[in-house]
Amino acid sequence: MNSCKMTGLGMMALCAGVAGMTVTPAKAGAITGVTGGFQDYTTSNGTVTGLMGKINIQQNAGTGDVTITFLQGVNDNVYGTSASTDPMWGSKGHTFSNLLGSDKAEFIVYGGSTALLDVTIDYIAAVNGTLSWVTVDGTMAKTYGSGYGSAGFFINNKSSPAITSSDGSLNSGNSKYILNFDTTLTDNLNQSPAYYGDIVNSPVGDPNWNNVNGYSLTIAGQLFTDNSKSFGGVNLSLVHDSPQGAYETPTITTPAPLPSSAWSGVGLIGLLAGTKLSRRLRRSRSELA
């Protein structure tokens, strides 16, 4: 675990392990001057320095639920023969197995200055069965028609559900406060049976396929009330990409604004991005009803 510290609601310390390895940064990149929307995510350490992607955080004013969205600029959902014409990869190449093998992102959620939850979200895994867990809002269940999707914080399991190649874990805290997790590749592969087999070559020129590599995580507001804390921010503690590609600014498709009565100014405020990803996040509460 690294020693990154968040510095308040208007500035958030963000640290990462990149380039297919775990790196302890010498210095955390920071987001400053927050006015809303997606903010640049940068890292500065002995191995990698520079822009890595975009990050956005929203808190629901009514429920206190927090949704974190991280869009990468050094990895994407282009693989197989499609990667040969992608500027991010070129002759380096990129395969579905690369994404399946070890990719993950670790999020530490704070109440005030206290770490209340530390969770690593798997990017994509083979999942044969239903991922089910009890949350403070009820039971959440995920089944992937393609047989592939984010295993979230679930570790490899040879029984039920059968999960292989998961890189997720619950490092500290209680999973009942995790209302939802998602990745853009999960949405791509499970949007309809027509995409179930796209695990060798990603589609080219398909408007329904999101090339942006992205994670989302929704945390219950009850995490903060149960601990008599207010939301203090999030550290993106580790990002593992194997391999890492050349940086490309992730495309952000802005959905219709959320009602001002539902969302207000705590932490980093803005709009969710990526058409399918944003729709999934806006649905998360109704799915649990």
User: Average pLDDT for residues 57-68, to the nearest whole number?
Assistant: 82
Nearest by Cα to 161 from 140, 143, 139 = 143
pLDDT-derived band at 199, boundaries 50, 70, 90: very high
- Tell me the C-alpha distance between 230 and 34, whole Å: 19
Is residue 254 assigned to a domain?
yes
Is residue 248 assigned to a domain?
yes
Q: What is the pLDDT of residues 200-231, one digit of tens each?
A: 999 999 999 999 999 999 999 999 999 999 88
- Tell me the C-alpha distance between 99 and 233, whole Å: 28
- This prediction has a pTM of 0.77
On whether the CB atoms of residues 100 and 261 are closer than 8 A, the answer is no
Write down the mean pLDDT value for the chain.
Answer: 74
- Predicted pLDDT at 253: 61
Res. 97: pLDDT tops 80: yes
User: Average pLDDT for residues 249-266, to the nearest whole number?
Assistant: 45
Percent of the chain scored above 90 by pLDDT? Answer: 47
Is residue 126 assigned to a domain?
yes
- Tell me the C-alpha distance between 39 and 93, whole Å: 29
- Residue 30 belongs to what H/E stretch? strand 29-31
Task: Give the number of other CB atoms < 10 A from CB of residue 129.
Answer: 15
Is residue 205 assigned to a domain?
yes
DSSP bridge pairs for 55: 39, 70
Give 180 or 19, the one with higher predicted confidence. 180
Is residue 1 assigned to a domain?
no
Residue with tokens 């995580």: 217
User: Average pLDDT for residues 60-67, to the nearest whole number?
Assistant: 82
Is residue 6 assigned to a domain?
no
Give 36 or 139, the one with higher predicted confidence. 139
Q: Detail the DSSP E strand segments found in 173-252.
A: 178-183, 212-219, 231-240
Range of the domain at 143: 13-287
Is residue 176 assigned to a domain?
yes
Count structural domains, the chain. 1
Is residue 44 assigned to a domain?
yes
Report the Cα 142 to chain-centroid distance in Å: 16
